[in-house]
């Protein structure tokens, strides 16, 4: 299905036939643009950026690449094609026709979840607001902007649902999505991770690897939703999300590659010497990984959750790839949770957050394996690893406990003493920030990161992906 770009708001939902909705969205559009000017990529509004824009919503839909000034990006409303006679794939309504409208009794639960999803999108743009000023290359600068404009479009996707299906409440929520701000003391973003600063590119790559991957899993579970417009919206968003995780995986991989080159060159594994040579030692990379992984684990919510149970039961949110499972109703099944007080058996529906978290952790391992292969091939024994899912948690039964990366509860004093081994401290951040010098000559890379294997859309790495003059 192609997207109509001739309209003020590009869309494939035939917006022109719903004048009321069109007017409401056209009213919101200038507010979005004001927000983008204020909170979006700092100082790059006038530059041409080599971006991809969706022209259709099938797998070929990404054919269109070209130079665009970001404020002119064609943000719009794109839903994946409908599946004929789609039925609900899980919960108490299993097998019933999917809903084209929100059932009255589920209105506030759906709104809450759409608002939570929507809130993360502008939040991430805000978190990355200043990163462009310290880009390690034009290639990376372009990728940052691609990610930013697509997060902006994901916001549009959720605002369309709020405006289209939730009346005045939805319109008010859409306003609030532009009023909360990442890290704002009075009006912060809803979920913890989205209030953490992303002030250096190592954090950006960790965020796009670990936090965007939470996005993948949450979107996959919402793509199963009984509310068909939400499911179709999320299916299309997932195609955009894949590139963000690619940026994360290759970004971290390139940082490691450069570190290994320096280790070889100096014939040392000494962090101080590696740092003095302008690369990021593997211990620091591990600490950043620990931080963003553990923070992203919190995004799945508590292990035992009545919210999760009712979301599943009522057809709001399924499991990612629900068809993989045999039992789609899960009324009687149970799940053993490992809590600080020992094993606790709960109904499977109540453990859906944990089920998702477990699949997420498995998916995170894939990149780790690749990075570790790189290290091994270079002849070093060090291996990066995911810390235990009990480590450094702020949500759920392990929240706030002094747990080491192996998952053991230790004394608070020992924990406080050793935390600098496990999480980035002031010194790490100061060092990493000191490396963040802007490199903008086409094809040149900052000294702490290796070039990518290839450029964008078959163009060479030294292509001028952002025209800064």
List interacting residues with ligand BYC (CB under 6 A). 113, 116-117, 120-121, 124, 151, 191-192, 211-212, 214-215, 218, 298-302, 305, 307-308, 317, 353, 395
| Nearest one of 147, 116, 134 to 247, comparing CA atoms | 147
16 phi and psi angles, rounded to 5 deg: -60, -25
* Of 53 and 305, CB closest to ligand BYC: 305
Strand partners, 48: 69, 467
User: In the complex with ligand BYC, which residue's Cβ is closer, 274 or 348?
Assistant: 348
Cβ 465 to ligand BYC shortest distance, Å: 21
CB nearer to ligand BYC: pick between 51 and 355: 355
Q: Which is nearer to ligand BYC, 111 or 257 (CB)?
A: 111
Per DSSP, the three-state class of 347 is: strand
Nearer to ligand BYC, 159 or 260 (CB): 159
CA distance 133 to 119: 25
Q: Minimum distance between the CB of residue 121 and ligand BYC, rounded to whole angstroms?
A: 5
**Residue indicated by tokens 């916001």:** 155
Nearest-approach distance from CB 242 to ligand BYC, in angstroms? 13
Number of H helices, E strands in the chain: 13, 5
Percentages of the chain per state (helix, strand, coil), in multiples of 5:
55, 10, 40
Minimum CB separation from ligand BYC for residue 417, in Å?
27
Of 237 and 260, CB closest to ligand BYC: 237
Nearest approach, Cβ of 127 to ligand BYC (angstroms)?
8
> What one-character DSSP code corresponds to residue 450?
P
Q: Which is nearer to ligand BYC, 207 or 422 (CB)?
A: 207
**Cα–Cα distance between 98 and 89 in angstroms, integer?**
9
**CB-CB neighbours of 55 under 10 Å:** 16
DSSP letter (8 states) at residue 378: T
Can you say whether residue 34 is alpha, beta or left, with left for phi > 0 and alpha for psi between -120 and 50 degrees? alpha
Closest CB to ligand BYC: residue number: 301
In the complex, minimum distance from the CB of residue 2 to ligand BYC, in angstroms, rounded to a whole number: 26
Q: At its nearest, how many Å lie between ligand BYC and the CB of residue 256?
A: 22
Q: Report d(CA 459, CA 440) in Å as an integer.
A: 17
Sign of CA dihedral 55, 59, 63, 69: positive
């Amino acid at each position: 299905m192609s997207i109509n770009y001739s309209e003020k708001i590009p869309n494939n939902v035939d917006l022109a036939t719903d004048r009321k909705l069109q007017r409401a969205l056209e009213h919101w559009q200038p507010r979005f643009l004001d927000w983008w000017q204020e909170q979006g990529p700092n100082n790059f509004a006038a530059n041409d950026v080599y971006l991809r824009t969706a022209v259709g919503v099938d797998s070929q839909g990404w054919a269109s690449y070209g130079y665009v000034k970001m404020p002119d990006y064609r943000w719009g409303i794109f839903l994946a094609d409908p599946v004929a006679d789609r039925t609900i794939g899980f919960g108490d309504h299993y097998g019933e026709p999917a809903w084209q409208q929100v059932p009255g009794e589920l209105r506030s639960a759906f709104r809450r979840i759409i608002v939570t999803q929507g809130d993360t999108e502008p939040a991430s743009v805000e978190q990355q607001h200043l990163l462009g000023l310290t880009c390690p290359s034009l290639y990376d600068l372009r990728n940052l902007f691609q990610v930013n404009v697509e997060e902006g479009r994901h916001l549009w996707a959720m605002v369309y649902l709020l405006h289209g299906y939730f009346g005045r409440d939805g319109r008010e929520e859409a306003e609030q999505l532009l009023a909360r701000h990442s890290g704002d003391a009075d009006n912060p973003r809803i979920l913890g991770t989205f209030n953490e600063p992303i002030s250096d590119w190592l954090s950006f790559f960790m965020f796009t690897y670990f936090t965007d991957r939470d996005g993948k899993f949450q979107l996959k579970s919402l793509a199963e939703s009984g509310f068909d417009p939400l499911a179709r919206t999320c299916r299309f968003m997932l195609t955009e999300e894949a590139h963000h995780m690619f940026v994360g995986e290759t970004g971290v991989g390139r940082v490691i590659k450069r570190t290994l080159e320096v280790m070889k060159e100096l014939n040392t594994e000494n962090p101080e010497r590696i740092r003095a040579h302008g690369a990021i030692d593997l211990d620091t990379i591990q600490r950043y990984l620990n931080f963003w992984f553990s923070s992203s684990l919190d995004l799945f919510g508590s292990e035992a959750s009545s919210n999760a149970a009712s979301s599943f039961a009522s057809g709001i949110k399924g499991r990612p790839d629900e068809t993989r499972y045999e039992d789609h109703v899960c009324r009687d099944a149970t799940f053993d949770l490992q809590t600080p007080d020992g094993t606790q058996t709960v109904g499977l529906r109540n453990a859906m957050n944990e089920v998702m978290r477990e699949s997420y952790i498995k998916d995170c391992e894939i990149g780790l394996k690749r990075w570790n292969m790189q290290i091994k091939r270079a002849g070093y024994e060090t291996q990066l690893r995911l810390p235990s899912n009990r480590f450094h948690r702020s949500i759920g039964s392990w929240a706030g406990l002094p747990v080491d990366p192996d998952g053991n509860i230790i004394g608070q004093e020992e924990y406080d003493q050793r935390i600098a081994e496990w999480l980035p401290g002031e010194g790490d951040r100061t060092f990493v920030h000191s490396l963040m010098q802007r490199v903008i000559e086409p094809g040149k890379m900052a000294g702490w990161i290796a070039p990518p294997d290839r450029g964008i859309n078959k163009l060479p790495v030294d292509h001028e992906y952002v025209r800064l003059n």
